Amino acid sequence: MKEIEADEFLKRSREFPVVDTRSPAEFASGHIPGAVNLPLFENSERKIIGTLYKQQGKKEAIKAGLRITGPKMLGFIEKVESLRSQNVLVHCWRGGMRSQSMAWLLELYGFDVWIMKGGYKAYRNALLEFFKNPPQLRVITGSTGSMKTVLLKKLREMDEQVVDLEALANHPGSSFGNQVSTGQPSTEQFQNDLFADFFSLDPDRPVWLEDESFSIGKVHLVEGLYRNMQLSPHYLVLLSREKRIDVLLSEYGQIPKDKLVQAVQGIAKKLGKNLANQAIECVHNDKLAEAVEIILNYYDRAYSKGIQKKQDLVLGPFHLNVENMEETAGKLINYRK
């Protein structure tokens, strides 16, 4: 077995399977995208071993660990065989006994094994360090309903490097996004997925992102990335209020009334009691366009306040051609060049 640093481990993970020997609970909290969980100990077993280690020492913990893992060894080998790779990458939390034990078994059987030095903790440290100085960022900004996500997809089709934060968060943002999201990953997993996306890109080429708050639904951006986004060029895209209302109706108009009301209630304090009540009444009376018009009072005001703080970074504006998004995307690309 060979120990390698986290960055080399991640490079090799593009070719070879990653085996995560941590407990299922640790794995569920956050893991390297694509990794296979092969826990040396189940959640309850890990707790037993940890208690023994603290109360009776290392040797007793090792004996108990051997009693637990002994019957599992054949299953471990068969699971790794099913991955159909002679080369295997293994890690645990700190690169200690769990990964070392699994690597020993797999190597004894005949696999070529690499262990991540420092384990998953080192991976998370590498993630945080990476986002302190990410590739050049290009941020697309614009009022709610300005089709920024559609524009990002068009940029990707035109061979630009794009990271879709809302797709990774499984949440389109805002109180209304809560009503259409089918469930979000943990913040830790979201950040891991984000790191994987960035790590797969060319670091010498810029990356396009959508302007976002630090939180997208219930998950949070990596602080280093968010900080760098706030210091990066912002490409301002404009779409008429009338067309933005149409966009928002197409995105959220099919949400059941009770959930729309719940979304309005989620921003009632910021919208104001009277306007919130007016919007809710419009929802109940199937006057959704009027409800959106009212709600945009809050979102447009909040956006205007936020973008003014970054006015020196704003480029454009770029007027969206809804019938030809490629034309708008081309303008952004050419302006950058």
Give the domain CATH number at 162: 3.40.50
112-116/2-4 β-pairing: parallel
* Domain end residue (candidates: 100, 128, 156): 128
Q: Which of 75, 104, 128 is the last residue of a domain?
A: 128
Tokens of 223: 């602080």
Residue 267 per-residue DSSP state: T
| CB neighbours of residue 183 within 10 Å | 8
| 96: containing domain | 2-128
What average pLDDT does the segment 100-106 reach? 95
Whole-number mean pLDDT of the chain? 93
Residues 62 and 143 in one domain: no
Return d(Cα 93, Cα 104) in angstroms, integer: 17
CATH (domain of 106): 3.40.250.10
> Which of 54 and 131 is assigned the larger pLDDT?
131
- Number of compact structural domains in the chain: 2
Percent residues over pLDDT 70 in the chain:
99
Catalytic one among 32, 38, 61, 92? 92
Is residue 120 located within the same domain as residue 187? no
pTM strictly above 0.75: yes
pLDDT at 337 > cutoff 70:
no
* 122 and 200 belong to one structural domain: no
Identify each DSSP E strand in the chain by its residue range: 2-4, 18-20, 36-37, 87-91, 112-116, 137-141, 207-210, 215-216, 219-220, 234-238, 314-319
**Are 306 and 330 part of one and the same domain?**
yes
**pLDDT of 249-287, one tens digit each?**
998 888 899 999 998 998 999 889 999 999 999 999 999
Clarify whether residues 179 and 303 are in a common domain: yes
Residues 52 and 90 in one domain: yes
Claim to verify: residue 109 and residue 211 sit in the same structural domain = no
pLDDT at residue 336, as a whole number: 63
Q: Are residues 167 and 215 in the same domain?
A: yes
Same domain, yes or no: 175 and 264: yes
| Residue 282 among the catalytic residues | no
Same domain (yes/no): 218, 312: yes
- CA distances in angstroms from 235 to 203, 248, 301, 316, listed in the order given: 21, 21, 19, 6
Strands (E), 53-177: 87-91, 112-116, 137-141
Report the pLDDT averaged over residues 124-148: 96
Q: Which helix (H) or strand (E) holds 291?
A: helix 288-308
- Report H helices in the chain: 6-12, 24-29, 43-56, 58-69, 73-81, 97-109, 119-130, 148-157, 165-169, 174-180, 187-199, 223-230, 241-252, 257-266, 268-271, 273-284, 288-308, 325-336
Round to whole Å and give the CA distance between 163 and 194: 8
- 169 lies in the same domain as 108: no
- Domain end point (choices 128, 160, 181): 128
The mean per-residue pLDDT over the stretch 297-308 comes to: 90
Cis peptide before 317 (omega within 30 of 0): yes
The pLDDT of residue 30 is: 98
**C-alpha torsion sign, points 7, 12, 17, 19:** negative
On whether both 60 and 99 belong to a single domain, the answer is yes
